[in-house]
A and B are shown apart, each in its own frame.
Chain A
């Protein structure tokens, strides 16, 4: 392997704290993010399990409700915290900050991120924000009940609006604001690293699609999180400093006039929130798209079909993602004329999404598919992306939204596309890169069992929710007995709860595989998948500065599989032209 000398070999820090806690190494920080997300995803799932149990057995005694069943405000606190933890601490954190941190510098041939200290700070900022967010459970009144969208005036008026709307809501806002800061720092670092630190020969057109996806995601994060940060500060001011950004005059809450506020607009919050919130959906899913493209190409032993179109589609989805926030607000009271534009722009996002789907099928077509667990999750991602994406075409139309908005149809839609599809991207990435990260293989047999429980499970949970929505079942209902027309839907809820219990329990299989294989899995070679990108040119796990001072030179594109005339069915990016066809 021809290499390009860097400034010399760096020595790793000695001492536990510098090495594992306040580490500047992008690989350690990537793992820290990954474990933060792993903790959060199990916490988030546990909360959803309690919600599902309550919906079906409302009289069930829960461990944290001394002396009785769950109250409506406790249910809504779970709704809020499940959504917030999953969106911020799992879907934003694992695919981008976790895998992006670990893999991106290696894939472009860099020794670390551009700003290692900033990188460490952004992780610890995120860690603090998780602690603040979770602490909302333990204050008087409990966690907030206004959902992860925190619409004012419910979120702005304080305790008078409901339990959890006092200290709990404050902690939520502060936690989310801190998270925004961490994400902004991370986004800056990703963009700078990708632009500045690529190895010799790693032109933009030779970057793996994973790197493209992380880059576009970082740009989205840079533009979106600043807006949410500002919105959170304004909301906090309304609550603690007597301002009225989001609170109009003349309100009366339970016969008590609110005299201290006047002139604000609740819709302002919705515009700010969704200007962040819609790009956030793509922050969660774009890295998954990158991983799916990468894994599908590797395990069908074929180049990605339409590399340039895939890059273009990533960019188009990212750009259009900023133009469609109003489709969350068709029935919010905003101008009905703007709904027309938001609707058509949203339908347009279907086009680059369809391009990606077709190109994934084109990548697989004529390949020689190897059904590794990573590949199974990649294929599952494609199926889920199609299913979850198509229901978006209903919700993108304001006329149909008049019926379906805020029903379980929406719950089904966003869980499939931004929840489960993104999680399948994370699983594909985990099974694919685990050997590189820990030097051992994940057990493939246990992995396949985990895949089947999860794939069948998530469809069993979320497909029936479409029908709840078609029946008009509103979301965020703590109880299904308060409204008559919900009574016939109880068997559907029962089915969903059973499916959720099995699927969530099955995730323990993954947890077992993860920790068991880390200790006792089969030793991984440098390049166990016969893959082409730079991370497979170095030992598993990689040394402290990745390339031991010898930065590789890049000679070709990232997906040269089954090239006619070559003896092997893959040609790594780092293989010099004169060595192609010979043993390496």
Chain B
């Protein structure tokens, strides 16, 4: 049959498209292998976080292989099957191949998913270890407040109508409840290193999200709910907490810090807070 313009001379287009796909694949693989310091997770400070990193790497390997095979396969077929005057072969499918790659992807993807459930189960199916430090985290537009139960080990009652960030009662502690007298409220968190911490995550107004990269933890703070999470940090330092759920115009600056310190430093900090409370 007669050929039309555009059907011939496809070598240059085929070559440039295939070349682009090859370069794109190489650059992408290089970047994910190089793990650039600016664009990678900071080191984990919990054992739990290391499990998540391991699962991330397993996923990276499997998706990486599929990515390379598919992109290079596309580049290869674009170049190989370009129009150079040949007749196209005729086949409408192949059930055996169809079955093999369906089975292969089922095993690969579902297997990967099953494997990753361990870390999730540890975060959510198990409660905090006995003797964990109770730490209440409350989000509000656009600040975080942390509350410790104090020596009595009990969080005191709060009342919405008593909430007043401007007069120093951002959580609305009820002064008539004796259990609230020793509650320590702080805009930054201190936690003892190597000690289990149980978070009670709450919000006063809209949905926020507690996110500390080094803990590998993120949890929405949902109006009307108190959500429990737990962690055990093993590396001292100051770690930034950034709100991860759109909460209004100040979302981008709603941050705080979680300070992981030695048990001695933690005890001292807590004593200072309690002393300050008694002097009020």
Residues of chain A touching chain B, judged by Cβ–Cβ distance below 8 Å, are 71-73, 76, 145-147, 151-154, 157, 161-163, 247-255, 257-258, 264-267, 300-309, 331-333, 336-337, 339-340, 343-344, 346-348, 350-351, 354-355, 357-359, 361-362, 364-372, 376, 379, 382-383, 386-387, 390-391, 393-394, 396-403, 405-407, 444, 448, 455-456, 459, 463-464, 466-468, 470-472, 474-480, 482-485, 488-489, 491-492, 559, 561-564, 567-569
Q: How far is the CA of A365 from the CA of B88 in the complex (A)?
A: 9
Shortest beta-carbon distance from A327 to chain B in Å: 11
CA distance A399 to B222 in the complex (A): 20
Is A72 within 8 A of B250, CB to CB?
A: yes
Task: Tell whether, in the assembled complex, residue B93 and residue A305 are in contact, meaning their CB atoms are under 8 Å apart.
Answer: yes
Contacts of B117 in A (CB 8 A): 340, 343, 398-399
Say yes or no: is B277 at the interface (Cβ < 8 Å to chain A): no
Q: Is A336 within 8 A of B120, CB to CB? A: yes
Whether B120 contacts A300 by the Cβ 8 Å rule is: no
B249 touches A145 (CB 8 A): yes
With contacts A153-B207, A369-B10, A468-B39 known, is A76 near B160, CB below 8 A?
A: no
Q: Residue among A336, A382, A402 with the most chain B CB within 10 A?
A: A402
Closest approach, in angstroms, between the C-beta of A450 and any C-beta of chain B? Answer: 14
Q: Is the CB of B91 within 8 A of A366?
A: yes
Per the bound structure, the CA–CA distance linking A567 and B160 in Å amounts to 82
- Give which listed residue, A147, A364, A400, contacts B52 with CB less than 8 A: A400
B131 at the interface (CB under 8 A from A): no
B122 to chain A minimum Cβ distance, whole angstroms, is 9
Check if B274 is an interface residue, CB within 8 A of chain A.
no
Contacts of B248 in A (CB 8 A): 76, 145, 154, 161-162
* Contacting residues of chain B (61-119) with chain A, CB-CB under 8 angstroms: 62-63, 66-67, 70-71, 73-74, 77-78, 80-83, 86-94, 97-98, 101-102, 105-106, 109-110, 112-114, 116-119
Contact A471 B40 (CB under 8 A): yes
Asked whether A350 lies within 8 Å of B105 as measured between CB atoms, the reply is yes
B266 contacts the other chain (CB 8 A): no
Determine the distance from Cα of A372 to Cα of B6 in the docked complex, in whole angstroms: 7
B76 to chain A, nearest CB (A): 9
Are A476's CB and B70's CB within 8 A?
Answer: no
A337 vs B28: C-alpha distance when bound (angstroms) = 35
Shortest CB–CB separation between residue A482 and chain B, in angstroms? 3
Q: Which of B38, B67, B223 contacts A266 (CB 8 A)?
A: B223
Query: Which chain A residues border B10 with CB–CB below 8 Å?
Result: 369-371
Q: Which of B129-181 contact A (CB under 8 A)?
A: 140-141, 160-161, 163-166, 172
B11 to chain A: closest residue by CB: A371
22 A-B pairs (CB sep. < 8 Å): A157-B205, A157-B206, A162-B249, A249-B224, A252-B204, A257-B160, A266-B222, A303-B92, A331-B220, A348-B109, A351-B106, A358-B98, A368-B83, A368-B87, A386-B67, A393-B112, A403-B41, A403-B56, A467-B31, A467-B38, A471-B38, A479-B252
A185–B102 alpha-carbon span in the complex (Å): 36
B residues contacting A by CB (< 8 A) are: 1, 6-7, 10, 13-14, 17, 20-21, 24, 28, 31, 36-42, 51-52, 55-56, 59-60, 62-63, 66-67, 70-71, 73-74, 77-78, 80-83, 86-94, 97-98, 101-102, 105-106, 109-110, 112-114, 116-120, 123-125, 140-141, 160-161, 163-166, 172, 204-207, 209, 211, 213, 216-220, 222-225, 227, 240, 242-255
Residue pair B218, A302 in contact (C-beta under 8 Å): no
How far, in whole Å, are A448 and B102 apart by their CA atoms in the complex?
35
Q: In the complex where A368-B81, A467-B38 touch, is A383 in contact with B252 (Cβ < 8 A)?
A: no
Given A72-B250, A153-B205, A301-B88, A257 contacting B14 (CB threshold 8 A): no
**Set A306, A379, A402, A489: member contacting B98, Cβ < 8 A:** A306
Question: In the complex, what residue of chain A is closest to B213 when comparing beta carbons?
Answer: A472
User: Assuming the A-B contacts A161-B205, A266-B224, A474-B211, are A390 and B67 also in contact, with contact meaning beta carbons closer than 8 angstroms in the complex?
Assistant: yes
Give the nearest-CB partner of A351 in chain B.
Answer: B105
CB-CB under 8 A for A402 and B101, given A266-B207, A383-B21: no
Residues on B with beta carbons closer than 8 Å to the beta carbon of A399: 51-52, 55, 116-120, 123
Give chain A residues whose Cβ lies under 8 Å from the Cβ of B245: 151, 406
Q: List B contacts of A157 (CB < 8 A).
A: 205-206
A405 partner residues in chain B, CB cutoff 8 A: 218, 244
Q: Please state if A393 and B31 are interface contacts (CB–CB under 8 Å).
A: no
Q: Chain A contacts of B166 at CB under 8 A?
A: 255
Q: A396, B242: Cβ atoms under 8 Å?
A: no
Are B163 and A252 touching (Cβ within 8 A)? yes
Please state if B243 and A474 are interface contacts (CB–CB under 8 Å). yes
List B contacts of A267 (CB < 8 A): 222, 225
Contacts of B205 in A (CB 8 A): 153, 157, 161, 251-254
A-side contacts of B28, CB under 8 Å: 463
Pair B207/A253 contact, Cβ less than 8 Å: no
Contacts A355-B101, A448-B13, A483-B242 given; indicate if A455 touches B20 (C-beta within 8 A): yes
Contact B6 A361 (CB under 8 A): no
Say whether A402 contacts B216, CB under 8 Å.
yes
Neighbour of B216 across the interface among A403, A468, A476, CB < 8 A: A403
Known A-B contacts A361-B74, A393-B112; the reply to A569 vs B88 at CB < 8 A is: yes
Flag if A355 contacts B98 (CB, 8 Å): yes
B90, A562: Cβ atoms under 8 Å?
A: yes
Chain B residues lying within 8 Å of A302, measured Cβ to Cβ, are 88-91
Contacts of A456 in B (CB 8 A): 20
Q: How many Å from the CB of A359 to the closest CB on chain B? A: 8
Known interface pairs A255-B163, A383-B21; A393-B62 also in contact (CB < 8 Å): yes
B56 touches A400 (CB 8 A): yes
Min CB–CB distance A448 → chain B (angstroms) = 7
Q: Which chain B residue has the least Cβ–Cβ distance from A77?
A: B249
CA distance in complex: A405, B117 (Å): 16
Residues of B within 8 A of A301 (CB): 88
Q: Are A397 and B55 interface neighbours, CB within 8 A?
A: yes
For A394, give its contact among B63, B124, B125 (CB under 8 Å).
Answer: B63
Known: A147-B246, A343-B113. Contact between A306 and B93, CB under 8 A?
yes
CB-based nearest A residue for B158: A250
Please give, as numbers and ranges, the residues of chain B lying within 8 Å of A403 by CB-CB distance. Answer: 41, 52, 56, 213, 216, 218
Could you tell me if B59 and A394 are in contact, using CB atoms closer than 8 angstroms? Answer: yes
Given contacts A76-B248, A367-B89, A400-B55, 16 further A-B contacts (CB under 8 A): A154-B207, A162-B141, A255-B164, A305-B93, A333-B227, A340-B117, A340-B120, A358-B97, A366-B91, A368-B81, A369-B81, A386-B74, A399-B120, A479-B253, A485-B213, A488-B38
Assuming the contacts A369-B83, A396-B113, A398-B120, asked whether A154 and B55 have C-beta atoms less than 8 A apart, the reply is: no
The chain B residue with its CB closest to the CB of A382 is B74
A567 to B67, CA, bound (A): 39
- B-side contacts of A347, CB under 8 Å: 109-110, 112-113
Is B249's CB under 8 angstroms from A163's CB? yes
Q: A153-B205, A257-B160, A343-B113 are in contact. Are A482 and B102 (CB under 8 A)?
A: no
Bound form: Cα–Cα A402–B41 in Å? 13
Known A-B contacts A255-B166, A358-B101, A483-B240; the reply to A402 vs B88 at CB < 8 A is no
B210 smallest CB distance to A (angstroms):
9
A331-B209 in contact (CB<8A) = yes
B93, A367: Cβ atoms under 8 Å? no
A300 to B246, CA, bound (A): 46
Contact (Cβ within 8 A) A309 B110: no
A253→B141 contact, CB < 8 A: yes
